[in-house]
Structure formats: C-alpha cells, structure tokens
A and B are shown apart, each in its own frame.
Chain A
Amino acid sequence: MRINPVMEKELKVKMRGWKAPALITSYLGFLGLVVWMVFVSNNYLSRYYAPSFNPRVALSAYNVLAILQFCLLMFIIPPMTGGAVSGERERQTLDLLLCTNFHPLSIVLGKMSATVAHAMLLITASLPIMGTVFLFGGIRLRDLLLLMAFYLVTALFVASMGIFYSTVFRRSTVAIIMSYLTLGALSVGTFVFMAMYYVFRHSLYGTQFTYGEVMLFLTPNPIYAFSMMLENSDMGFILLDIFFGIRRIGMAQGSGMVNIKPWAANMIFNTLAAMVFILLASWRIRIVKKPLLKKRGRL
C-alpha cells in the first residue's frame, strides 16, 4: 500500500522547524511538572495522615495525567484541523489538489491521519511520564491500553469534526470555534438536556431514569464516558464528584441490567460520527461557495 501523499506532506511540514519539538517539549514539561506537584503535595499531606508511602498517590497522579491529556487532546486538535481545508482555500492550493485524480476522500483521510498521528505522538511521548506511576504500582497494562484506545478514537472524532468544519467555513477561526462549541455541547449540553428531561419526566410520572435513558443522553458525552472508564478501571475518580448527582441517577436505576459500558458506547459513537464527518467533508470539499477570487493578491 502506498503512503497517502497528503499525510506524508503534512507530517513533513509539521515536523520541520522548531515548532514540533517546542510543542513536545512544553507538553512533556507541563505534564512532568504536574506529576511532580501531585507527588509533592501528596507527600506533604501524607506526612500527617499516613507516614508510609501510599499507592493511592500514584493512582491519583495517574488519573490527573489521564484527565489532563484528555483535555489537552480536545483543546489541541481543533486548532490543528481548523485550517485543514479552509487554509488551502485561502492560500489557493485546494484547486491544485482537486484538479488531480486524487480522491477527495483521500485528501480528507490524509489530513486527518496526519493530525491524529501528531496528537498520538504527544501522548506516546508522555508514556515514560505515565510510566513513573507504574513504579509505584496500582495500574494494570490493560487499563493503559484501554486509555490509549480511548484517546485514539477521541482524536479521530475531534479531528474529523475539525476537518469537516474546515470544509464548511471559509475562515479557520470559525471552524476552530465551531469545534470547541460542539465539544462543549457534547460535554455540558447533554447533561443539561438530561437534567431538563429529568425534571420534566419526574414531575409527570414521578419515576426515575433507566440506564438506557441515561445512555441515550450521555453516549456522545466524552467527559462522562471518560470518567466512567477511569472508574471502570478501578481507579478513584476526581471528576466523579462534580457530576455526582446525575451519575447516581443512572447508576441507581441501572442496577441489575447488563448494559454496554458508557466508554464503549462512546467509542462506538465517536467512530461512527468520525466516519460520517469524513464522508461529509469529502463531499463538502468539492463545493465552491463564493465567487471565484477576483484579481489582486495573486499567488
């Protein structure tokens, strides 16, 4: 199989110069700092409560790292993809691609895989830092692999969404903002919807949610899925408290039912959504909306 030339070129350009090393360095530096702070603060606290080393500290460091990376993923990818197509339109390079016999789908896939690869590079590079946590035990390899898979699928989803928006909007900034808004709507909006529905339903029937109903609302929610995954891996979870009330509703009613795990449902949702976004983007990329550029600013 031939390497996708768009991906190859994107990666080449991305990795060239000082930007990529600078990004990795600051990313790792930041994560390292966080781990160090977690250990120090925990040590400081445990001096009073538990004189001996507490593996829970390592666990919470792992969780903090996992959450941090997850957030970074969602923050970093929209700007990386926002200009994928609109940028080419602005720079008048898109027509040169579209006039070739290269399939639009391959253009989209090339751009997406370059972005995902870059994001996963950051995460892979941080594995040694995650590894420090192994030193103290408490984390299974299975959990780590699951975490990586979850990151990968989320990255695919966010990247394909970013590229889709980039085909829709002329301006890269608009595409980036739309990605953030969508992620915000998925993370917070779904909770709000569910809460509203809950109030409505409770006043009407006085019954509580079933597990299925919770999943109906929260399947697309990346934060919920991620938090459930961490908990599922027998890890203490910090965010849990934040959404405690609503989560409890789901758990209370779901007892006894064997259902798909929230993180698994979310991964399936993201995969399907990514495929839809990719197809839409490769259709949208061919559509010329505004008048042909008129004079000036050539080249």
Chain B
Amino acid sequence: MLTVENLVKKYGKFKALDGLSFHIDEGHIYGFVGPNGAGKTTTIKIIAGLLKPTSGRVMVDGIDISANPRGVKSKIGYMPDFFGVYDDLKVSEYMDFYAGVYGIEKSRARKITDELLELVDLSDKRDAYVDTLSRGMKQRLCLARSLIHDPKFLILDEPASGLDPRARVEMKEILKELRSMGKTILISSHILPELSEICNSIGIIEKGRMVISGTVEEIMRKISRNRTIRIKVQGDIEPALRFLQEQPELDNVSASSDYIEADYDGNPDTLVRILRGMVKNDIPVISFSEVEGNLESIFMHVTGGVAANED
C-alpha cells in the first residue's frame, strides 16, 4: 500500500530525514515509532502531500505522490498531531464541510456523517458546537473527518497524545474497528506499548533513519538473539542463582525479590539443558518461562535505550 524509498528531507543544512525507506502491506497496521525529533511528523507530512521531500520517492497504492498528488490525497485520510477546529461550526456542519471539500454530495454526506459519528461515538454531539467538545472528543471528531472520503489508507500522527487512559482505550477500540474494516493504517507514536496491541508491523526511526522495519514477528526474531528466561524457585534463591551464574550459555543473571532473570542465546536446547540441570541439582523450580519480548524492550534495545518517556 505504501512504499517509501530513500526519502531525504533537509531543513537548510539539517537533515531531518536521511535516506528513509520502508514499506507497508495492504491491510496492515504499521506502528511508526521513534523518539522526539526522529522525523516521524516530517515523514508523515510528506506522505500526506503537505511537504515536499528534498529527494526520494513515495508511492501510495501504486501511485507516485509527486506525479499525481491529488490522486494520492483522495486515497489518504490524515490526522495531524496538532490540529484546530473551526469554532463557529456544529459537529454535523464540520463534517458536512469536509465532505463538501472532498466533493461528496449533500445527501450522501449526511449518511456518511451519521455512520462515522456513530463509529467515534459522537452521535449525541452532532448539534454541539465543535469548540465545546473536549480534547478527546475533538480528537475523535478529527478521526471521523479523516475518514469521510472512505480512504484506503489512514495516517495518524500520535492519535493518542494528550488523551487520558480511558480515552486512549477508546481510541484503540476505534482503531481495531478500522482494522477490521480492512484499512491500512500508519500510526506514529514515541511510546511503543500503546501500539503493541494493535500493530502487526512496526518501524523504528531514529535521527531520520529507519533502524528496523517489518512485521512484529520478524522483528522479534531478528533481535531475539538475546532472549530472557524468568525462573522462580521455592524458598531460598541463592543456590539457584549460584547454579545459573555458573552456566556459560547464560548472561546477565540477575535476581529480584522472587525471581531470577537471565539472557540466553535463543536456542531451545539451552533451555532444556538448564532446566534438566536445575532439577538434577535439587533446585525447587516452580516456574520456568521465557519472558515475552515486548515492543517496549525492543524499542529500548534498538534505539540504545533512548528514554521513551511521554513528553
């Protein structure tokens, strides 16, 4: 659905994007992650046709964006990180306006608006003035607006920023619904966990370069050379700790109050050998499991521990 090739964007001498390439398959939800200033918004604005790249190519659904910008724009729904609303309009008029801008007839627009307001749970606000909506509602309204022309491809720049936990959950639910509708979605964020549930592909960008990109499984596999096991034992953990530290296949053996963690090479045979050894040595193992590699740890790993704090 989206192919970005060798994208470069310079602001004066500063290279915000430095040969960025990635690909999103149709129907995928792509998490576009990177620390502040990595170039996410810049990339997104280029894809949305709001910025011209210094060089490089962007193809959306087989169309080159520089060759046919308006054709591409009609396939894209874009929700910026910061946006405003026209304060003198009601919610329904707001939707009507953008429907008109996309050239949708009035009667059809009304129907679409109803459906979309239903989707983002704003049906009861249709006669409210837009500026009386809360932050989260505006965010949802903006999402509904970006869907008004039924785009195949959605670009959401930090859709969850500034939302409270509850609103984040609601936003996630909406995104899941959109996924089931078959939309391809690019979501940017500088925190991974909020994406881990909904994305099936991710790309991690840093300093204008793609550090890693692909489906979640691929990435997990690529970087899981350092996988972690977590072991719980009954009673004293000292003997277990000593045993594990003696094993050459294990690294970074560390104990917390009630479990021990250690990195291993990712080979299942290693696990079998370790467990057998522990049992043979009468260590009372009550739990022996692999720590689920989560996206957060991947992110930390890949970006070399750049703090992923929000704001």
Question: Chain A interface (Cβ within 8 Å of chain B)?
Answer: 2-3, 5-6, 8-9, 12-13, 16-17, 91-93, 95-103, 288, 291-293, 295, 297-299
In the complex, given contacts A91-B85, A101-B102, what are 18 additional A-B residue pairs having Cβ atoms less than 8 angstroms apart?
Answer: A5-B100, A13-B86, A17-B88, A92-B82, A92-B84, A95-B45, A95-B80, A96-B78, A96-B98, A97-B101, A99-B76, A99-B78, A101-B71, A101-B73, A101-B103, A293-B82, A297-B82, A299-B83
Q: Does B24 contact A (CB under 8 A)?
A: no
- Flag if B89 contacts A93 (CB, 8 Å): no
- In the bound assembly, the distance between CA atoms of A91 and B130 in angstroms comes to 13
- Flag if B101 contacts A100 (CB, 8 Å): yes
Q: Does B283 contact A (CB under 8 A)?
A: no
- Flag if A2 contacts B103 (CB, 8 Å): yes
Return 22 A-B CB contacts under 8 Å, by A number. A9-B89, A9-B93, A9-B97, A12-B93, A13-B86, A91-B86, A92-B83, A95-B78, A96-B78, A96-B145, A97-B101, A99-B78, A100-B102, A102-B101, A103-B70, A291-B11, A292-B42, A295-B311, A297-B82, A299-B83, A299-B85, A299-B162
For B71, the chain A residues whose CB sits under 8 A away are 101
CB B128 to nearest CB in A, in angstroms, measures 15
Known: A92-B82, A293-B82. A13 touches B89 (CB 8 A): yes
Which stretch of B48-56, B195-203, B240-248 is in the interface?
A: B48-56
Known: A9-B86, A16-B88, A93-B86. A100 touches B93 (CB 8 A): no
- Flag if A95 contacts B83 (CB, 8 Å): yes
Q: Does B303 contact A (CB under 8 A)?
A: no
CB A291 to nearest CB in B, in angstroms, measures 7
Partner of B50, one of A9, A99, A299: A99
- In the bound assembly, the distance between CA atoms of A97 and B83 in angstroms comes to 11
A-B CB contacts (within 8 Å), total count: 90
Q: Which residue of A lies closest to B74 (CB)?
A: A101
Known: A2-B103, A5-B101, A93-B84. A288 touches B51 (CB 8 A): yes
- Flag if B88 contacts A13 (CB, 8 Å): yes
Q: Which residue of B lies closest to A93 (CB)?
A: B84
Q: Which residues B207-251 have CB closer than 8 A to chain A?
A: none
For B84, the chain A residues whose CB sits under 8 A away are 91-93, 299
Partner of A298, one of B11, B88, B145, B162: B162
Q: Which residue of B lies closest to A91 (CB)?
A: B84
- Flag if A96 contacts B100 (CB, 8 Å): no
- In the bound assembly, the distance between CA atoms of A3 and B84 in angstroms comes to 24
- Considering the complex of A and B, which 8 residue pairs feature the smallest CB-CB distances, nearest first? A5-B100, A91-B84, A92-B84, A13-B88, A101-B74, A101-B73, A99-B78, A101-B70
Q: Which residues B54-86 have CB closer than 8 A to chain A?
A: 70-71, 73-74, 76, 78, 80-86
Known: A16-B88, A291-B11, A298-B162. A98 touches B82 (CB 8 A): no
Q: Which residue of B lies closest to A13 (CB)?
A: B88
| A interface: dominant SS | loop
Q: Does B6 contact A (CB under 8 A)?
A: no
Q: Which residue of A lies closest to B102 (CB)?
A: A100
Q: Which residue of A lies closest to B85 (CB)?
A: A93
Known: A93-B86, A99-B50. A299 touches B138 (CB 8 A): yes
- Flag if B83 contacts A93 (CB, 8 Å): yes
- In the bound assembly, the distance between CA atoms of A281 and B84 in angstroms comes to 22
- Flag if B45 contacts A292 (CB, 8 Å): yes
Q: Which of B41, B49, B86 has the most CB of A within 10 A?
A: B86
- In the bound assembly, the distance between CA atoms of A101 and B71 in angstroms comes to 7
For B70, the chain A residues whose CB sits under 8 A away are 101, 103
Known: A13-B88, A16-B88, A99-B76. A298 touches B93 (CB 8 A): no
Q: Does B301 contact A (CB under 8 A)?
A: no
- In the bound assembly, the distance between CA atoms of A95 and B135 in angstroms comes to 19
- Flag if A99 contacts B100 (CB, 8 Å): no
For A92, the chain B residues whose CB sits under 8 A away are 80, 82-84
For B81, the chain A residues whose CB sits under 8 A away are 298
- In the bound assembly, the distance between CA atoms of A17 and B88 in angstroms comes to 9
- In the bound assembly, the distance between CA atoms of A297 and B82 in angstroms comes to 9
What are the interface flags for B126-162 relative to A under an 8 Å C-beta threshold, 1 for contact and 0 otherwise?
A: 0000000001001000100100010000000000011
For A3, the chain B residues whose CB sits under 8 A away are 100
- In the bound assembly, the distance between CA atoms of A218 and B83 in angstroms comes to 46
- In the bound assembly, the distance between CA atoms of A17 and B90 in angstroms comes to 13
Q: Which residue of A lies closest to B41 (CB)?
A: A292
For B138, the chain A residues whose CB sits under 8 A away are 299
Q: Which residue of A lies closest to B70 (CB)?
A: A101
CB A204 to nearest CB in B, in angstroms, measures 50
Known: A6-B101, A291-B11. A99 touches B48 (CB 8 A): yes
For B93, the chain A residues whose CB sits under 8 A away are 9, 12
Partner of A102, one of B45, B48, B86, B102: B102
Q: Which residue of A lies closest to B36 (CB)?
A: A295
- Flag if A298 contacts B102 (CB, 8 Å): no
- In the bound assembly, the distance between CA atoms of A292 and B49 in angstroms comes to 15
Q: Which residue of A lies closest to B162 (CB)?
A: A298
For B162, the chain A residues whose CB sits under 8 A away are 298-299
- In the bound assembly, the distance between CA atoms of A87 and B250 in angstroms comes to 62
For A9, the chain B residues whose CB sits under 8 A away are 86, 89, 93, 97, 100
- In the bound assembly, the distance between CA atoms of A205 and B11 in angstroms comes to 55
- In the bound assembly, the distance between CA atoms of A127 and B86 in angstroms comes to 33
